[in-house]
Amino acid sequence: MKTKLTGKSLLSSSAVKKLRIELDRLKVQAALFFKRSDIFYLTGMDTAGVLIIKEAEALLYYPATEREILTNKNPLKIKLREYITALPWKEIFNRIGQTGRPGRTGCLEIALDIKGLDFKRYGIIKENCRNILDLDGFVRDMRVIKTRAEVELIKRSASHTVKIMDSIKIKEWEGKTEAALAGYISTRTWENGMSGPAFTPIVSTLKNSVYPHHIPGRDIIRDLVMIDMGSKYKGYCSDLTRTFILDKFINDSALNGFYESLERAKENAVSVLKPGVRCDRVYREAKESLEKDNLADYFIHGLGHGVGIDIHERPFLRAGCKEILKEGMVVTVEPGIYIKGSGGIRLEDMYIITKKGSQKLTKKYL
């Protein structure tokens, strides 16, 4: 994903500073980052590759294919090294430190965020380093609390998404294909000067709406249509779902009842969004609300997820998640019910956790 960058890094220098203090505490020579969104967070550069933070320097190895988007977009003046297709592991380990054993390219103590690292890469690193310390989500812990600058970008991203959703005159799409509407949404997302869709839009009409991750097809929009879409703005994602019940169905009492139950479940969940509340508590609030209407069995996924540089990131509002909500976290709340023969309904908005509660982000700001 290419992202148009901001010209200056959002929070990179302070994040890198905190990271260096942590490396000093861990007594390691360097920390390595492979995840694109971590690299963007720390450097302001949206690229694949590997970022190496040492005490005295920061180095970014990037694939040559990313060359054009990095030119003139290096706010922290990080040293850049280019490679073609394969990471130059030997050079990387040599850069970090001198070899201690003959035949080995390195004998290093490094820090990594091990969770999420693929096993093959882990194997290569283990082979070349004496000691690997787990950063254990150090950067993810920083990322989960959004800075003021990040909140501003997320608000703009959300605002753009709301505008696109609002521009859909659903009556005009009745009788057209899901594919056509998904194409319209994609074009609008690409065209509004941001960085395109945050994910492939979901557009599902009645019989398809019971499948939460439906891919748009040539089915004709009628009766009911669910739209789940998001866009990126300068690297930051937004996420929004609406379900429209069309004329023929507007008087279907069952469907209207389901819709009201779902709205209530969403409101109840939002009412407990505040610092100090455990994530699974918010999920349960929605679940229990649906239980009262005998609809809990049709709610077959988590309630929400964090949103930031990644469209799905911590925290996760789902069963078993013990993470505690804190001020500055941004989450979706998106209960859904999927009833074969009746239809699927999902409603989703984004919220930021404030000092005493939460505030909806998916609205028009500009």
Q: Which residues bind its own copies (CB under 8 A)?
A: 1-2, 63-69, 84-86, 114-120, 122, 177-180, 182-184, 186-193, 195-197, 200, 210-218, 300-302, 318-320, 338, 340
Nearer to its own copies, 244 or 316 (CB): 316
Q: How far is the CB of 116 from its own copies (least distance, A)?
A: 6
Q: How far is the CB of 38 from its own copies (least distance, A)?
A: 15
Q: How far is the CB of 172 from its own copies (least distance, A)?
A: 16
Nearer to its own copies, 77 or 213 (CB): 213
Q: How far is the CB of 28 from its own copies (least distance, A)?
A: 18
Q: How far is the CB of 220 from its own copies (least distance, A)?
A: 11
For residue 71, what are the CA distances in angstroms to 50, 67, 235? 17, 6, 17
Polymer length of the chain: 366
Contact 344, 266 (CB under 8 A): no
Q: How far is the CB of 324 from its own copies (least distance, A)?
A: 19
Q: How far is the CB of 265 from its own copies (least distance, A)?
A: 16
Sign of CA dihedral 83, 35, 136, 54: positive
Nearer to its own copies, 47 or 58 (CB): 47
Nearer to its own copies, 128 or 189 (CB): 189
Q: How far is the CB of 36 from its own copies (least distance, A)?
A: 12
Nearer to its own copies, 62 or 244 (CB): 62
Nearer to its own copies, 146 or 231 (CB): 231
Nearer to its own copies, 195 or 358 (CB): 195
Q: Which helix (H) or strand (E) holds 108?
A: strand 108-112
CA distance 233 to 198: 9
DSSP 55-86: SS-EEEEEEGGGHHHHTT--TT--EEEEESSS
Nearer to its own copies, 85 or 294 (CB): 85
CA distance 168 to 176: 13
Q: DSSP code of 319?
A: T
Q: How far is the CB of 348 from its own copies (least distance, A)?
A: 14
Q: Which ranges in 197-296 belong to alpha helices (H)?
A: 247-250, 253-271, 279-292
For 52-86, b where at least 16 C-beta lie within 10 A, e where not — what string?
bbbeeebbbbbeeebeebbeebbbeebebeebeee
Task: Return the structure tokens found at 340.
Answer: 């074969």
Q: How far is the CB of 98 from its own copies (least distance, A)?
A: 25
228 phi/psi in degrees, rounded to 5: -120, 115
CA distance 125 to 110: 9
Q: Which helix (H) or strand (E) holds 356?
A: none
Q: Is 131 helix (H, G, I), strand (E, B) or coil?
A: strand
Nearer to its own copies, 304 or 308 (CB): 304
Residues 6 or more apart from 7 whose CB is under 8 A from it? 73, 75
Nearer to its own copies, 122 or 365 (CB): 122
DSSP 191-217: HTTSS-BSSPPEEEEGGGTTSTTPPP-
